[in-house]
Amino acid sequence: MNPWDLIMNNAPALAIAIPLLGAFVTPLINRAGRKAMLVWVIAVLAFTEFIALLLVYQVNTYGIQVYVFGANPHTLTVPPDSGGIPVRIIFTIDGMSAFTALISATLGLVVGIYSVGSEKFQTAQEKFFALLLLLVVGMMGMALTGDIFNFFVFLEINSLAAAALVSYHLNKGKAVEAAFKYAVVSSIGALMILFAIAILYGEYDALNMAMIAQRMYQTGFSTYDMIAMTLILVTLAMKCGAVPMHYWVPDGYGEAPGGTSAILVVASQASLYGLFRMSFTVFGLSANTSSLGWFMIILGLLSMFIGVTMAFLQHDIKRLMAYHAVSQTGYMLLGVGVGLATLGTAAFNQYGLYAMEGGIFHIINHALYKGLLFLTAGAIIYRVGTSDLNKMGGLAHSMKFTAVFFLIGAFAIAGIPPFNGFASKLMIYESVYQLNPFLAIVAAIVSMLTLASFLKVFHSAFLGPKIYDVKEVPKSMLFAMSILAFFIILFGIFPNIAIHYLVAPAAHALANPLGYITKVLGGGA
Partner 1 sequence: MNPLVPTITTPSGVWNPLVWLMVFLLSLIIALIIYMRGEKTRKKGMQAGVFFSGDRPPEGMDAHIAAHNIGWGFMEALRPYYRAMRKMHTGIINDYVGWFLGILAVMLIIFLFWGGA
Partner 2 sequence: MRNVLMSIVFLILLAFMLYVAINPGDFGSSTGEHFVFGAPKFTDMDNYFIHNGQNQTAANNIVTSIVFDYRGFDTLGEASVLFTAVLGVGVVLRLLGGGRNDE
Partner 3 sequence: MIFNLPFITVIIVMFFGFYAMVFRRNLIKVVIGLDLVESAVNLFLVSLGYVKGGVAPIYTSAPSTHMVLPTPQALTLTSIVIGVATTAMLLSFCMVIYKHYGTLDTRKVRRLEE
Which stretches of the chain bind partner 2, using CB under 8 A?
20, 23-24, 69-70, 79, 81-83, 85, 87-89, 121-124, 127-128, 130-131, 134, 137, 141, 149-150, 153-154, 156-157, 160-161, 163-164, 167-172, 176, 179, 199, 202-207, 215, 219-224, 227, 257, 381-382, 385
Check binding of 198 to partner 1 (CB under 8 A).
no
- Report, in Å, the least distance between residue 257 CB and partner 3: 15
What angle separates helix 209-219 from helix 513-521, to the nearest 10 degrees?
110
Residues 321-350 that bind partner 1 (CB under 8 A): 350
Amino acid, single-letter form, for residue 166:
V
Pick 464 or 522: Cβ nearer partner 1? 464
Q: Which does 397 bind (CB under 5 to 8 A by kind): partner 3, partner 1, partner 2, none?
A: none
Q: Of partner 2, partner 1, partner 3, none, which one sits near residue 224, judging by CB under 5 to 8 A according to partner kind?
A: partner 2
CB of 132 to partner 3, least distance (A): 17
C-alpha–C-alpha distance, residues 396 and 382, integer Å: 15
Distance of CA 221 to the CA centre of its chain: 30
Q: Does residue 180 touch partner 3 according to CB under 8 A?
A: yes
Q: Does 259 bind partner 1 (CB under 8 A)?
A: no
Contact 306, 442 (CB under 8 A): no
Residues 6 or more apart from 295 whose CB is under 8 A from it? Answer: 233, 337
Q: Strands 90-93, 65-68: parallel, antiparallel or unpaired by DSSP?
A: antiparallel
- Quick check: 188 binds partner 3 (CB under 8 A)? yes
- Determine contact, residues 367/269, Cβ cutoff 8 Å: yes
Asked whether the beta carbons of 309 and 449 are under 8 A apart, the reply is yes
**Site for partner 1 contains 230 (CB under 8 A):** yes
Amino acid at 163: A
Residue 101 near partner 3 by CB under 8 A: no
CB of 317 to partner 3, least distance (A): 14
Residue 192 binds to partner 1 (criterion: CB under 8 A): yes
Select the residue interacting with partner 3 from 113, 131, 136, 183 (CB under 8 A). Answer: 183
* Nearby residues of 487 by Cβ (< 8 Å), 6 or more positions away: 368, 420
Give dist(CA 72, CA 512) in Å, integer. 28
Does 365 engage in binding with partner 1 (CB under 8 A)?
no
Give whichever of 123 and 390 is closer to partner 2, judged by the CB atom. 123
- Closest-CA residue to 10 (of 50, 63, 69, 59): 69
By CB under 8 A, is residue 172 in contact with partner 3? yes
Burial (0-12, 13-18, 19+ Cβ within 10 Å), 263: buried
Q: CA 334 to CA 357: how far, in whole Å?
A: 11
CA–CA dist 86, 208 (Å, integer):
7
Q: Which entry of partner 2, partner 3, partner 1, none binds 335, CB below 5 to 8 A by partner kind?
A: none
Note whether 149 binds partner 3 by CB under 8 A. Answer: yes
Number of shown-chain residues binding partner 1 (CB under 8 A) = 74
**Residue range at the interface with partner 1 (CB under 8 A); choices 148-156, 280-288, 332-340, 372-380:** 280-288
